[in-house]
Amino acid sequence: MVANAVVIGAGLYGAAVAASLTRRGARVTVVDAGSPGGGTSGATFSWTNSCGKQPRSYHDFSVEGMAAHRRLAADVPHGDWYHETGNLEWAATDADREALARKVAAVLDYGYEARWLGRAEASDLEPDLDPAALPEEGIAYFPREGWVEPVRLIGHLLSTAASAGAEVVPGDAVTGLEVSAGAVRAVRLASGRRLPADAVVNCAGPQAARIAELAGLALPMRNTCGVLVRTSPVAAAVARVIHAPRVHLRPDGGGRLLLHTPEVDGAARVSETGEVSVDRSAVREVVEAGRALYPGIRATSAESVRVGERPIPEDGLPVLGRVLGLPNFHFAVSHSGATLSLHAGDLVAAEALGEDRDDALAPFRFERSAAVH
């Protein structure tokens, strides 16, 4: 049994790993350079899905991630962070319609729930959508998809871990790892604190490559910026995730909506001093696209703009579990953390405590990235 486990990062992955470790009896310290949920996890669209994910192993893993959310929601009746209300998607061009048809056919072949709707059926689900914005047919509906409110989920998981004895250390960056005799012996923090470690789990999201480097490992990443626009409260009932041709949106609590497009991602700029800004004209275009879908939000405005750095391993697949050459050092890093974190975090925690989870984690090992370099 591991006596001391250090979890680096207090986002969705770090919180899920910590809760699972403490449930299994480990003594856990969670460290973060900022505040829990203050990084990427607090600036994510947090869509729970396995829609179009390839290869099949990644699809199936994501379906298990969705099921883990379902189980936790059933186990915590007061938990209000999980919303399985479905996802509507349609396309505007012939090429995009063909791509959507291929995606639906592929997921149906995998046994994933999806069906085609016409305008009237989609309007029944989302009555405040402007019917004129919908095609007559060809609207894909994925009923088991939804979203999570990530900071609320992180709060629940870290509270669960803390009640079982875990310590959460915010605002104290990791500055070094002491490695000797093929293992990480301690984690050093900016405050000067030294944390002895029998196991270390790297849940540092976009900083995962830097933490890996401290352990003498090279983790290839291709992180990208994600821009989210949060509206002022709106007078429209929006219940589902919507993927329309010009905007993606979902509810965001308090009557607000969260809006996104790939184009607004491209409008993010990073200065030489590291400050991030977003072209205001791109933000206005996203808001206008949302207004065109829902007449009831035409008076809304952009209340805030969030920019997060998406942690994406080089091949796009998660990096999870132990490292062969450093067996007490573990990864929990991926895009789609909102979907995967509960399921993957539990598997990684189990492996950190010596259990064999190779049947589930084999496709997502760190060593595959080393093999291609």
Every domain range in the chain assigned CATH 3.50.50.60 = 4-48+150-220+314-371
The phi and psi torsions of 189 (rounded to 5 degrees) equal: -110, 160
- Identify the pLDDT of residue 373: 46
Every domain range in the chain assigned CATH 3.30.9.10 = 84-144+223-310
Report, as an integer, the average pLDDT of 177-183: 97
The pairing of beta strand 241-243 with beta strand 248-251: antiparallel
For helices 337-352 and 56-75, give the axis angle rounded to 10 degrees.
Answer: 90
Q: What amino acid is encoded at 340 in this protein? A: L
**pLDDT tens figures, 201-214:** 999 999 999 999 99
Q: 51-55, 95-99, 146-150, 367-371: which range is least confident on average?
A: 367-371
Give me the count of residues in the chain. Answer: 373
Report, as an integer, the average pLDDT of 83-104: 98
**pLDDT tens figures, 281-298:** 999 999 999 999 999 999
Cα-based angle 122, 124, 126 (whole degrees, multiple of 5): 70
Tell me, which fold does domain 84-144+223-310 have in CATH? D-Amino Acid Oxidase; Chain A, domain 2 (3.30.9)
| pLDDT > 70 fraction of the chain, expressed in percent and rounded | 98
Q: Which CATH number fits domain 4-48+150-220+314-371: 1.10.10.10, 3.40.50.2000, 3.50.50.60, 3.40.50.300?
A: 3.50.50.60
